[in-house]
Amino acid sequence: MIPATDVEDQTIAVLGFGRSGRATAAALKAGGARVIAWDDGADTRQQAEAEGWEIVDLTRDANWTGISTLITSPGIPHLYPKPHPVIERALRLGIPVDNDIGLFFRSFATEDWHRFDRIPKVIAVTGSNGKSTTTALIHHILAESGRPTQMGGNIGTGVLSLEPAEDGEVVVLELSSYQTDLARALTPDVAVFTNLTPDHLDRHGGYGGYFAAKRRLFAEGGPDRAVIGVDEIEGLYIANQLAMAPSDDRVIRVSSGQKLDGPGWSVFTRKGYLAEYRKGRQAASVDLRGIAGLPGAHNHQNACAAWAACRAIGLAPREIEAAFHTFAGLPHRSQLVAEIGGVRYVNDSKATNVDAASKALQAFDRIRWIAGGLGKDGGIADLRPHLSRVTKAYLIGHSARDFALELGDTPYEIAETMDQAVANAASEAQPGETVLLAPAAASFDQYPNFEKRGEHFTDLVRAMERGLPSA
């Protein structure tokens, strides 16, 4: 745990008492603060009270006397579509509102650091797609190279549940727009922007607000180095705003699919090859095509971002390349589950929207595609340019028949369930083909979340691999 600093003898309120709220409360208490807590759920309040936490009804004005700060869980709206009533009350009273990310950045550095040979660093990753894989890949590269490292934030461990840094350690954080939007302190050493596609627009008051939330990590964070994906105009804009000259190597531009020119520092992929350029000269080149844990152009973009971040803190190209080959990928994100009889089975259950499914389809050829679930507005019409890669679609869930109407000449069947889809795809697949779960839909019609959907697919495939009947 990272104890909060500069909070001794203060009364600090914590709104939302799930995993993040509990970790925040523990960090504040360890720092000497009096913690009062509130959660909208009666069961959560009762459990917290049983654990010894002081529950105070923050919906009542009389209970705000003496409170110096409100720390809110990132999932609770603070501005759009409208602020939570407790947060609005704090705003009206002039009480600072923060979240655990801001508290982390204020508390991470300690007096012990003056005895370290190498000051710890923080790499923070944000963006719409690929940030989890990029974060995990950076963490993997650091671990494989022998650097002490921890990973947390929006992936894995909550930031305040991390351990205090040791000599030379690098903490890698995935940060969502919910986290960057409100944090009052954002001071990573290296900040990474992967890309931007529409998401969470109601929470941010539109696309501009969503972009502004991501941009805060760079505009207000002031990282020593910024790694910026420039395949969208928003990334180009951030890179331009940060660079003081074309050759300013504090900004590392990354791209998947286009060569980046100019005298600055860039990392890009073309036709499966990663290239690093600095001051107009090539500094390194890596063939990504045979790396099983990084399939497809979208993962090549993640590889570029991770490469750039690790180079920014001094890792050598050979260290990074070696670690690429041992990266297994994240569950449910283009995860190679097994190869049976020359047929690959890939779990991309995280592809819950058309944009993510598009990237998955472009990563493979000769696809037996398992898709469907609770479809989103707009259907799957935007996937038509990639359907030539699909040998046959196996449609499941609530939107199976709606999806079927948009497949054109692509062969399909209504399989209804995952069990039937996997069984039918496996029985028809030929060596060299890929059975790909990339639903292009939410999971909530049949599963509680995309993880459970992906786990079901994985269990079915591994049962086949062991020669067992499907469960």
Domain locations in the chain?
11-98, 109-324, 335-465
Q: Which CATH superfamily is domain 11-98 in?
A: NAD(P)-binding Rossmann-like Domain (3.40.50.720)
Q: How far is CA 444 from CA 170, 292, 310, 375, in A?
A: 37, 30, 37, 10
- Weakest mean pLDDT among 29-38, 76-85, 289-298, 378-387: 289-298
pLDDT in tens, 431-471: 999 999 999 999 999 999 999 999 999 999 999 999 866 55
What's domain 109-324's superfamily in CATH?
A: Mur-like, catalytic domain (3.40.1190.10)
Q: Are 331 and 399 in contact (CB under 8 A)?
A: no
Q: Please tell me the predicted confidence (pLDDT) of residue 161.
A: 97
Query: Please, where are the H alpha helices in 340-389?
Result: 354-362
| Domains 11-98 and 335-465 in one fold | no
Q: What is the mean pLDDT of residues 409-416?
A: 97
pLDDT at 116 over 70: yes
- Whether residue 80 contacts residue 204, with contact meaning beta carbons closer than 8 Å, is answered with yes
Res 463: pLDDT:
96
| pLDDT band for position 292 (cuts 50, 70, 90) | confident
pTM of the model: 0.88
What is the chain's mean pLDDT, rounded? 95
What is the predicted pLDDT for the residue at 351? 92
- pLDDT band for 329, please (50, 70, 90 cuts): confident
- What's the pLDDT at 470? 54
Q: In this structure, what token pair is assigned to residue 297?
A: 């152009």
Residue 468: predicted pLDDT: 66
Check residue 296 and give its pLDDT.
87
Q: What percent of the chain has pLDDT above 90?
A: 90
Distance of alpha carbon 116 from alpha carbon 277, whole angstroms: 33
How many CB atoms are located within 10 Å of the residue 3 CB?
17
The closest alpha carbon to 227, from 284, 309, 282, belongs to: 309
The single-letter DSSP state of residue 165 is P
Residue ranges of the binding site for ATP: 127-133
Q: Provide the CATH number for the domain formed by 335-465 in this structure.
A: 3.90.190.20
Segment 338-396, tens digit of pLDDT:
999 999 999 999 999 898 899 899 999 999 999 999 998 889 999 999 999 999 999 99
Q: What is the pLDDT of residue 172?
A: 98
For residues 112-122, give the mean pLDDT: 96
- For 44-65, the pLDDT digits (tens) are 999 999 999 999 999 999 999 9
| SS3 at position 345 | strand
- Going from the C-alpha of 358 to that of each of 136, 190, 384, 390, the distances in angstroms are 22, 30, 9, 12
Residues of the binding site: 127-133
Is pLDDT of 72 > 60? yes
Residues facing residue 390 across a β-bridge:
367
pLDDT in tens, 209-257: 999 999 999 998 789 999 999 999 999 999 999 999 999 999 999 999 8
Name beta bridge partners: 124: 173, 191
* Average pLDDT over every residue of 121-137: 95
CA angle centred on 330, ends 102 and 130, rounded to 5°: 55
Residues 6+ apart with CB under 8 A from 271: none
Q: What is the mean pLDDT of residues 190-211?
A: 92
| Average pLDDT of span 80-93 | 96
